[in-house]
Amino acid sequence: MAEEKAVGAPALDTNIETGGFDEKRGQAPHPTHAHKAPLAEDEEPDEDMDALIEDLESQDGHEIDDEEETQPGGGRVVPEDQLQTDSRVGLTEAEVLARRKKWGINAMKEEKENLVLKFLMFFVGPIQFVMEAAAVLAAGLEDWIDFGVICALLLLNACVGFIQEFQAGSIVEELKKTLALKAVVLRDGTLKEIEAPEVVPGDILQVEEGTIIPADGRFVTEGCFCQVDQSAITGESLAVDKHHGDNCYASSAVKRGEAFVIVTATGDNTFVGRAAALVSQSAGGTGHFTEVLNGIGTILLVLVVATLLVVWVSSFYRSNGIVDILRFTLAITIVGVPVGLPAVVTTTMAVGAAYLAKKQAIVQKLSAIESLAGVEILCSDKTGTLTKNKLSLAEPFCVAGVEPDDLMLTACLAASRKKKGIDAIDKAFLKALKFYPRAKGVLSKYKVLDFHPFDPVSKKVQAVVESPQGERIICVKGAPLFVLKTVEEDHPIPEEIDSAYKNCVAEFATRGFRSLGVARKRGEGAWEILGIMPCSDPPRHDTARTINEAKRLGLSIKMLTGDAVGIARETSRQLGLGTNVYNAERLGLGGGGDMPGSEVYDFVEAADGFAEVFPQHKYNVVEILQQRGYLVAMTGDGVNDAPSLKKADTGIAVEGAS
């Protein structure tokens, strides 16, 4: 009897027609009764989902307390004795002042650019030097027309370039101001909200869903479980589980859970601060176009000097006067060097920068426009650049006899109805309901009697609900094999179902999906295994088209990501980048791993991408390609991309960059 229930599990009383969605077409190894639906747009409004959650909350009669009581536990490397803060009181104001004096504010030091020096640098260069020498000669000969024209060209070049780059810098500074963070700390026994730069080592931070962690720290709450999004730092698209004693990093975001964290590093001593130090060590270079112009200027300068030597020698033998010699010198200097070139080039690039500004692109260095036009290889971060950095559901695997609607409804019943800081996975399930409009309508008719959030031990989320007909149902979703074990402990599972289920789990894992098993128990009946819902961070809707267009223009693209090899390879395959994606360990942090000589250059050049990379790996890949003579661009949105963004000939920080 139990086996019959497992084979053909009766549907919940929803009276729903089968819906469907296909975020990634054709990815289910065993799709059952699933119809195709159009792809969603890249940016989907959340208003409908918020309204749905509010509706579900009003229907439940079971409220989840947002203010659950939580007890706190408990670089220049901060000494351990300074991390023994009284967990009931926190730091006192006197301790805060002493530590701030020793460790400074929680902000990275920024070198202020000397604007006068920046302006004067526009007068530096081989062509500019020749023009300046010509201006001096013209003044000495009282040729004020030539003097005025040359000075006007020099000033035009400097003013246009300086104003454009100054405006771009001002826009970036304004953007930084909008990102000011707050922090909730325990001081003198009281929780208070302060500005993030006021945090000091040893502070006890309270973090919860939605909190942006302002400094490096360590979880100190006994038995805590949080999920933290570290994609801006490591490039991992999926949230990372954190428990008591685990470390967390500045700029990462808490996606689930609530806990206390003791600050272990601030400012330049954080992981982000050390990445910034690597950026400062990276020589920004003058840019390819500037190098070309300087090369042309140097060659012309040499030719002018050689010509002048001939003129001076011949004038000496002809006994020409000094004034005549100087006039010859001025004429040859003006004729031999294109004095209008810097002004023309700068003005042209400023027009290009203004055009890009209309496209919401900020150009911080004018020379980057030409460098971008000459790029041969583009190295791109994956998470948030090629992909949405938002979990979405792929085509589900349904056990024989189970409708996809049933699977989706059960999974959504086992989802949090807590609007504040809703879990990314639950959000993905609720968003997918738009492909099942009737299921969405029926969902609110089920009353939640009891809800148990994700348990890191059992690896499951469990909800006890009551159907509109008054039937009591236990809904479970979680790690596929743990969900399967729950059913197996109740009754044996038919071999064909067990085999198909486990094969599907293995295939999804190989392809880099995070899979969730779904099961339920109706009344006093047996547990029923329903199927598997695969989750992933899907590509942006326009990424594949953009990549194809870039390839058509002769651009080679390599993907660099902190995600696992399976996830990276699957994303690369979907985007048509190729599947020659390797673990960055083969490179080693020094750039060549165990590979000798030029072999590492050939290896990097032939690869379609690298997975599980650290910032140093990205930096090394860019450097190796540059040493091969390629012009390299780098795109990214996270702190882990900063060193390679600066090292590249053209660095492109995408929308939403941290």
Residues acting as catalytic residues: 381
Which residues have C-beta within 8 Å of that of residue 504, sequence separation ≥ 6? 29, 30, 397, 515, 532
Compute the CA torsion angle 603, 606, 612, 615 (nearest 10 deg): 80
The whole-angstrom distance between residue 93's C-alpha and the CA centroid of its chain comes to 36
CA distance 245 to 262: 10
DSSP state of 584: G
* Own/partner pairs, 35-39, CB within 8 angstroms, 24+ separation: 37/435, 39/541
CA distance 154 to 411: 68
Nearest to 164 by CA among 350, 367, 352: 350
For residue 418, give the 3-state DSSP assignment: coil
Nearest to 613 by CA among 583, 590, 592: 583
Q: Kindly report the CA angle at 428 between 243 and 470, in degrees rounded to 5?
A: 95
The whole-angstrom distance between residue 454's C-alpha and the CA centroid of its chain comes to 26
Nearest to 305 by CA among 531, 522, 498, 130: 130
Q: Which helix (H) or strand (E) holds 259?
A: strand 259-265
Residue holding tokens 């010699």? 325
- Read off φ and ψ for residue 195, nearest 5 degrees: -70, 145
Amino acid at 592: G
CA distance 581 to 231: 19
Under the phi-then-psi rule, with left for phi > 0, alpha for psi from -120 to 50, and beta for the rest, what region is 372?
A: alpha
Q: Kindly report the CA angle at 283 between 279 and 286, in degrees rounded to 5?
A: 130
Compute the CA torsion angle 7, 12, 13, 15 (nearest 10 deg): -80
CA distance 370 to 384: 26
Which residues have C-beta within 8 Å of that of residue 18, sequence separation ≥ 6? 33, 34, 35, 403, 404, 405
For residue 36, give the 3-state DSSP assignment: coil
For residue 78, give the 3-state DSSP assignment: coil
For residue 264, give the 3-state DSSP assignment: strand
Residue holding tokens 């159907």? 467
Do 506 and 512 meet the contact criterion of CB atoms below 8 Å apart?
Answer: no
CA distance 643 to 212: 22
CA distance 464 to 523: 10
CA distance 381 to 387: 9
Beta strands 247-248 and 182-187, pairing class:
unpaired
Under the phi-then-psi rule, with left for phi > 0, alpha for psi from -120 to 50, and beta for the rest, what region is 576?
A: left
The whole-angstrom distance between residue 364's C-alpha and the CA centroid of its chain comes to 20
CA distance 608 to 592: 17
Per-residue b or e along 562-580, where b marks 16 or more CB atoms closer than 10 Å to that residue's CB: bbbbbbbbbbbebbebbee
